[in-house]
Amino acid sequence: MKRTLRTAVFSGLAMLAGAAGAQDDHPSVKRPFDLPPSAELTYSVKASSHGIPLSGNGTITWQHGNGKYTLVTEARSGMFGKVLEYRSEGTIDAYGLAPDTYHEKRIRKGAGTTTFGREAKTINLADSENTVPIHGGEQDRSSAAWQLAAVARAAPQKFTPGTEWNFYVVGRRNAETWSFKVVGTDTVKTGMGDLKAVHFSKAPPKGKGQQVDLWLAPALEWYPVRLVFLEDDGDSFEQLLDKVTKK
């Protein structure tokens, strides 16, 4: 049971994780952006792992000001307490969010930090001796969704069904292109009532791996109000917004 719970939590809150290599074409371009206001978001968590239903809660703490930002994602369960923490910290440049460090810590797993060496223009991966060159616009696995929200806030009229928005995303082991496709607009039932949200879908890399669906609510600063992760083995994980506390 402990193994099952850890598997579900880790695969779900491993924010939009993928598995391709750093050799992918670099898609980053400068786009207008408007960062969402600082806030703490609280979520209910549901998961299914090998047919076993699980539940818990999580938070995303998002803060920015004076040209810097901090983004912390945490997951908790009644049995284990805090089981996961992701921390993305950096500055704000002409592209938007510019991570300096991406730190990841999981229960029973070693912590790892990927560092973005801006002066050397090189990214040092936490779990690989390989490095990734910095061209500008690179995101980490936590910051990518918030960069997407910032771009959407600046030009909402461009986010029509069928459009795709690409970002170059770095994790602990590799880097790859993430493509978010606009599916349409849905009504999401949250702890704050029914909210209209733009539905984005990120297909599994190269047709195999993790499918991610993300809902951003324009009337609520384009915050993520629902996230759904589906593994190719049938396991699933969902985060649903309970409340937002603006900082």
DSSP letters of 60-102? Answer: EEEEEETTEEEEEEEEEETTTEEEEEEEEEEEEETTEEEEEEE
Is the pLDDT assigned to residue 22 strictly greater than 50? no
The sign of the CA dihedral 114, 115, 116, 122 is: negative
| Span 160-181, average pLDDT | 91
Which of the four pLDDT bands, split at 50, 70 and 90, describes residue 210?
low
Give the per-residue pLDDT at 214.
94
Dist CA 245 CA 219 (whole Å): 15
Which of the four pLDDT bands, split at 50, 70 and 90, describes residue 122?
very high
Dist CA 33 CA 111 (whole Å): 32
Beta partners for 221?
Answer: none
| Span 133-162, average pLDDT | 95
Task: Assign residue 44 the CATH number of its domain.
Answer: 2.40.360
Q: Which residues contact 86 (CB under 8 A, 6 or more apart)?
A: 13, 15, 71, 72, 73, 74, 102, 103, 104, 105, 141, 142
Radius of gyration of the chain (CA): 17
Q: Estimate to the nearest angstrom the gap between the alpha carbon of 88 and the chain centroid.
A: 10
Which of the four pLDDT bands, split at 50, 70 and 90, describes residue 226?
very high
Percent of the chain beyond pLDDT 70?
81
Overall number of domains in the chain: 1
Give the per-residue pLDDT at 25.
63
Task: Out of 51-60, 61-70, 177-186, pick the least confident.
Answer: 51-60
H or E element that contains 4: helix 2-13
Range of the domain at 229: 2-246
